[in-house]
Amino acid sequence: MELTSTTALRKISGLRKRIKGIQGGQGASKTYSILMLIINHASSVPNREIYIASDELSKMRITVIKDFVNIMRHMELFKKEEFTDGTLYKFQNNSFIKFLGLDKEDIGKGLRSDLVFVNEANKVKFETYRELTSRAKQVFLDFNPNKKFWFHTEVMDRNDCDFLKLTFLDNEVLSKEEVSEILRYKQRGFDLAGNVVNTYWANMWRVYGLGEVGQVEGRIYNWKSISYFDYLNIEKETYYGCDWGLVDPFAVVEVKYHDGNLYVHELNYASENEIRRGLNEAQLHKINAHEEEGLVSWMFERMNINKNKMIVCDSNRPTKIHALRRGGWEYAVAVGGKSKVVDRIGTLQSLNIYYTDSSKNIAFEQDAYCRKKDKFGVVQEEPEDDNNHTLDAITYIVEKLFKIGVIRNL
């Protein structure tokens, strides 16, 4: 039986690059169309190893897996006895599709595959995505654009990535009832002249109607960008903040302060694991022969950080701070007792903060860092514990500058 033809299906099937990122709103048929293409591929090409992954397997059973079974039955391909545990389907041509819930950090590591589909990619950590897809010949991702995430900063601009934005208008078989519901977002968010009358519904229309990246509700910071040239011309003392990261980003920032204005520049965001993977054998031998924490000293040398400058580090890795001191950075110190997160936010909000235009991860984090919502969608005081690696590094040095009187209470 032929696949149901929609504009969404035709657009996705026209993507040719190795990575295919599909951003879209409600009812755009992102997931359903990708599943149809994958099933068609698996059933017609022998010996394909295909993985479909999302953040929770339990949720997949009532969403992606349910759609998979419906499509397979529609195509007259489904055989219950070939569907082991409801997560592994084996085709007669020796191809298979395996569903994975990415609940554990190490799942997918070392996995070689012909195709990986990451469903609701915005709910998956970047390192998990990277481990899962680095050995895949072909990658699909789909997501609702509630806010920017790692796809927009780390994947979208790769030369082997196709990007596609879909809306409900690309799905001709969407029910009239759901179309009416989506259009209601616009009606409740805007007046007839196009002016915003309700920010919540206006944002719903932007994300779920237009498939555009949404405005983050509960956003905490709104910093400004300056050119790196202007930053270099600020003749003030430089300080450094460091947030360790073995799997998460290892964030190092350079900071200057003048008269209530804080100027920040990003030096590193790659995790220690990522850094090691990028080294050759000679570099690894030099690092490993030096000391247990040799990578730290090597990285700070590489970043050309003056050994007479203050470096304020996350206190949870004291051996790394000792390694810096042994390497000659005598003013490397731990942040000390960490303040409450809400107090740290207040500390940064008391300053005018500017980031350099080359600091893409600082730009991303200050844009995406937001407060938690309760189960009713009400914004809380406490922030989400996410998108905060450079922000933490900046906070460490700023709190230290307050303590030693470089920055005074404003």
Tens-digit pLDDT profile for residues 184-238: 999 999 999 999 898 889 989 999 999 998 877 778 898 999 999 999 999 999 9
Residues 257 and 347 in one domain: yes
What's residue 1's pLDDT?
A: 37
Task: Give 313-357 pLDDT, tens digit per residue.
Answer: 999 889 999 989 988 999 999 987 667 888 888 889 889 999 999
Mark which of 185, 209, 233 sits at the end of a domain. 209
Residue 268's DSSP bridge partners are 252
Residues 205 and 286 in one domain: no
3-class state of residue 52 by DSSP: strand
Residues 154 and 29 in one domain: yes
What's residue 357's pLDDT?
A: 94
Alpha carbon distance 35, 103 (integer Å): 22
Residues 141 and 199 in one domain: no
Residues 138 and 273 in one domain: no
Residues 263 and 368 in one domain: yes
What's residue 386's pLDDT?
A: 84
State the total domains in the chain.
Answer: 3
Residues 383 and 280 in one domain: yes
Residues 200 and 318 in one domain: no
What's residue 25's pLDDT?
A: 95
Q: Over the chain (410 residues), what is each successive 10-residue block's mean pLDDT?
A: 77 97 97 97 97 94 96 94 96 96 69 94 90 95 91 93 98 96 95 89 93 82 94 96 92 94 96 85 73 78 93 92 92 83 87 95 90 77 87 94 82
Q: What are phi and psi of 149, to 5 degrees?
A: -150, -165
Residue 19: which H helix or E strand, with range?
Answer: strand 19-24
Alpha carbon distance 107, 59 (integer Å): 17
Asked, for residue 219, whether it belongs to a domain, the answer is no
The residue segments making up the domain with residue 250 are 224-403
CB atoms within 10 A of CB 17: 14
Query: For the purposes of burial, counting CB atoms within 10 Å of the CB of 219, is it exposed (0-12), middle (13-18) or buried (19 or more)?
Result: middle
Asked, for residue 218, whether it belongs to a domain, the answer is no
- CATH number for the domain harbouring residue 362: 3.30.420.280
Residues 387 and 264 in one domain: yes
Residues 256 and 130 in one domain: no
Asked, for residue 409, whether it belongs to a domain, the answer is no
